Amino acid sequence: MCATVRPYWRLFVAGVRQQSTYRLAALGGLVTNATFGFLKAAMLFATVEAAGGELRGYDVGAMSAYVWLSQGLLGSVNLNGRTDFADRIKSGDVAVDFARPISPQGAALAGEVGRAVFTLVPRGLPSVAIGALVVGMTMPTSPGPYLLGLLSLLVGIVISHATAYAVNACGFWLVETRGVQVLYMVVSGFLAGLFVPVAFFPSWLLRIAEATPFPSMMMYPIDILSGRIHGPSATGLFGIQLGWLLVTLAAGQLLTAAGRRRLEVQGG
């Protein structure tokens, strides 16, 4: 493997292994996801039925796919804004990161994404399985959407962690980033399409959402994976995701470089 990539790959693997040591927490997360999944399904199915069985392109089967995919992704897509990196700035452990011959941003993201990808196993897949078995959901019948959908999902996970990283890099200036995290959590869940599909937004709100990276974290991967958006439109969404990936990574890198110039290591 290329020498530049190997450290980050190793940190990704370490993230996977770290996460795999917390099985009980994963089970707890799954139970919570499923509980809220049933609530969300009940409300959104009622909405679709009240609209005459179809609302903005969603019938009950498509809505079910949306509900269970979004619940399944919740453990992996970072919509709560919390990152280890923020804690490391606050405690001063970030000094250790800067003493290594790698990018602190790359190292932080590799670990977070590793943990997120592993979380798909105990939380993502069972969540989708529950939806498919108990409620039933409309999914594509050809392999194409799954292939692009998985790529889109992976990119969505990375965008979410890259954005959370950039937000938490404000800790170089603020030290305490809980306020920013809460703001991120409120905005991201809504605009990423966690509560209702972005297609339900009024057009002005839709335009706002589309001007942020949030739909690229969760809504677009779900649209592609469930086959609701397919063909060239799906490829287009994926292209938008790649754009946001570059933007969020660049933002994090700039903030890290600027933050380092004014870094004051906390706690001596």
Partner 1 sequence: MSIDGPDIVIETTGLTRVFTRRAGRGLRSLRRTALTAVDDLTLRVDAGEAVGYIGANGAGKSTTIKMLVGILVPSAGSVRTCGLDPVRDRRILARHVGVVFGQRSQLWWDLPVRESFAILAAIHRLRPSDATAREEELVARLEMGGYLDTPVRQLSLGQRMRAEVAAALLHRPRLVILDEPTIGLDVLSKQRLRQFLLAERAAHGTTLLLTTHDMGDIERLCDRVVLVDHGRAVHDGDLAGLARTVGARRELVVDLLAPSPDLVGIPHTVHLMSDGGGIRQRLAFDADATTAAQVLAAVASRAEVRDLTIEEPDIEDVVRRVYEASGRDR
- Residue 10, interface with partner 1 (CB under 8 A)? yes
Where does this chain touch partner 1 (CB under 8 A) — which range of 102-110, 135-143, 164-172, 195-203?
102-110
Rounded least distance, CB 260 to partner 1, Å: 7
- Residue 6, interface with partner 1 (CB under 8 A)? yes
- Residue 173, interface with partner 1 (CB under 8 A)? no
Query: Helix/strand/coil (H, E, C) string of the chain?
Result: CCCCCHHHHHHHHHHHHHHHCCHHHHHHHHHHHHHHHHHHHHHHHHHHHHCCCCECCECHHHHHHHHHHHHHHCCCCCCCCCCHHHHHHHHCCHHHHHCCCCCHHHHHHHHHHHHHHHHHHHHHHHHHHHHHHHHCCCCCCCHHHHHHHHHHHHHHHHHHHHHHHHHHCCHHHHCCCHHHHHHHHHHHHHHCCCCCCHHHCCHHHHHHHHCCCHHHHCHHHHHHHCCCCCCHHHHHHHHHHHHHHHHHHHHHHHHHHHHHHCCCCCCC
Where does this chain touch partner 1 (CB under 8 A) — which range of 98-106, 124-132, 176-184, 232-240?
98-106
- Residue 24, interface with partner 1 (CB under 8 A)? no
Cβ atoms of 231 and 214 closer than 8 Å:
no
31, 96, 125, 250: residue in contact with partner 1 (rule CB under 8 A): 96
27, 43, 53, 98: residue in contact with partner 1 (rule CB under 8 A): 98
Cβ atoms of 74 and 118 closer than 8 Å:
no
Where does this chain touch partner 1 (CB under 8 A) — which range of 130-138, 229-237, 239-247, 256-264?
256-264
Where does this chain touch partner 1 (CB under 8 A) — which range of 14-22, 47-55, 65-73, 161-169?
14-22
Decide whether 2 or 133 has the Cβ nearer to partner 1. 2
Residues 103-122 that bind partner 1 (CB under 8 A): 103, 107
- Residue 207, interface with partner 1 (CB under 8 A)? no
- How many residues bind partner 1 (CB under 8 A)? The answer is 30
- Residue 23, interface with partner 1 (CB under 8 A)? no
- Residues forming the site for partner 1 (CB under 8 A): 3, 6-7, 9-11, 14, 17-18, 21-22, 92-93, 95-96, 98-103, 107, 260-265, 267-268
